[in-house]
Amino acid sequence: MSNIQDPLLKLKNDYLNFIAQANKSLGYNPYLKGVLFALMLDGGLLSQEEIMLLTGYSRSMVSETLAELTEFTSRYPVHESRKKGDKKKYYSSSLTFVQYTKILAKTNLEASETSYDFVDEMLPRLETLTPQTPDIAHVRNLMVFLKSTYFSVRAIINYLDDKLDYILETGEFPDISPYISRSLEKNKPTSQISNIIPESDSLYQIKTDFISRLLEVIPPSGKQRDVVTIYFSLFLEREPVTQDQLKEFTGASRTAISETLSLLTSIRSVKIVKKPRDRKKYYSPLMSMAEYSLSKYTNQKRVFTQIKTAINSEIIPELKTITGNAEEITKIENFLNENVRCYQILEDFITLMYHTFDQNYSP
């Protein structure tokens, strides 16, 4: 910030605000990450006032964030203590950047671990429909792919459980293929299915059942429920559809459909298709299901690259121009270099995920 006179304090402030904004773009609480990184960067005891000075946050924001970080359920170890003869509360975190990276990698994958086992009930229903049309094949391919994504995430989580410490220590990625092979073996469809096929069935009924079961597995609320319903309804269609068709299929109100499509279009998740001599607007997903499944990680990789580049090309060179406490400057430089190393590993890990999907889980 321009009103900070101490160049080292200004560099810390700039770094923490950059990290907070980068994490905000990934959907994380920027204030939580800002306060946490301030504690990690310092490595010692900080009062609330010192955290305010480092981050530029208000007293109430720092207080609320520290309360969240010191909760028993917090993923990040932050401790509250007092100094002898001092009534102030002080805060610290023993978390290293390597340990932070481990938490980040595992929680990201666990958040993506959605089970699509219920499609085992629907795949045999699709097989009984006659005639077998391209629309049926489209829905079948989608369901098979969704179930496969669960097993791929499960395989990668198991891989990280076994190998993450080694990866973070060496930067090398051991062979993941044994984990994928076990995943593919588990992904074989079940054979006990004869009792779940309705006497009278249709593609329409299977698709509506799919959306209902999906909302049970991913129980969104409010407008998010409309987003999941409409977005996945579009994926179930082989051709672009109109708002009227979506209304008929989902049962959602015309307002909800219009607002949701506007949102999905504005964030470049859905495209509008115009047909010759037809004034209606048609809608379809802008990305494939494989691209959608990896879209979160694509954005993460982009942001990790930006963080790494900014630290290497701007923050560390600026740090080298600052004179003063050599011990503290060296400590900060080591912390920033560890940032760069770990973000590079996270980039490489996402590349490994892409490779895994391409080779084993393409629809």
Q: What is the mean pLDDT of the chain?
A: 89
Tell me the torsion sign for CA atoms 233, 234, 235, 236.
positive
Question: CB atoms < 10 A from the CB of 201, how many?
Answer: 15
Whole-number Å distance between alpha carbons of 68 and 239: 46
What single-letter DSSP state applies at residue 35? H
Helix 7-25, helix 289-310: angle, nearest 10: 180
- The percentage of the chain sitting over the pLDDT mark of 70, rounded to a whole number, equals 92
Location of structure tokens 């958040």: 111
Q: The whole model's pTM is what?
A: 0.79
- The percentage of the chain sitting over the pLDDT mark of 90, rounded to a whole number, equals 63
pLDDT at 34: 97
Least confident of 44-48, 142-146, 205-209, 317-321: 142-146
Whole-number Å distance between alpha carbons of 269 and 170: 37
Q: Of 288 and 72, which is predicted with more confidence?
A: 72
> Residue 121, SS3?
helix
pLDDT digits (tens, 9 = 90+) for 93-138: 999 999 999 999 888 777 666 778 888 889 999 999 989 999 999 9
What is the per-residue DSSP string for 303-319? HHHHHHHHIIIIIHHHH
Q: Average of pLDDT values for 243-259?
A: 92
> Residue 138, SS3?
helix
Q: Average of pLDDT values for 349-355?
A: 85
List domains and CATH numbers for the chain.
Answer: 1-95 (1.10.10.10)
Least confident of 50-59, 239-248, 290-299: 290-299
* 70, 91 Cβ separation under 8 angstroms: yes
> Residue 92, SS3?
strand
Beta strands in 234-290 (DSSP E): 270-274, 281-285
Question: CB atoms < 10 A from the CB of 8, how many?
Answer: 17
What amino acid is encoded at 224 in this protein?
Q
* 6, 50 Cβ separation under 8 angstroms: no
Question: CB atoms < 10 A from the CB of 268, how many?
Answer: 9
pLDDT at 36: 98
Q: Of 327 and 157, which is predicted with more confidence?
A: 327
Location of structure tokens 């590349």: 351
Among the listed residues 57, 86, 87, 85, the one whose alpha carbon sits nearest the alpha carbon of residue 69: 57
What single-letter DSSP state applies at residue 281? E
pLDDT digits (tens, 9 = 90+) for 37-83: 999 999 999 999 999 999 999 999 999 999 999 999 999 999 999 98
What band does 3 get if pLDDT is binned at 50, 70 and 90?
Answer: low
| Phi/psi-derived region of residue 43, left when phi > 0, alpha when psi is between -120 and 50, beta in every other case | left
Within 8 A by CB and 6+ apart from 122, the residues are 143, 206, 209, 210
pLDDT at 2: 47
Whole-number Å distance between alpha carbons of 258 and 269: 14
pLDDT at 113: 66
What band does 162 get if pLDDT is binned at 50, 70 and 90?
Answer: very high
Helix 59-69, helix 30-42: angle, nearest 10: 80
Segment (H or E) for 7: helix 7-25
pLDDT digits (tens, 9 = 90+) for 167-224: 999 999 999 989 888 877 766 655 444 455 666 889 999 999 999 988 888 766 667 8
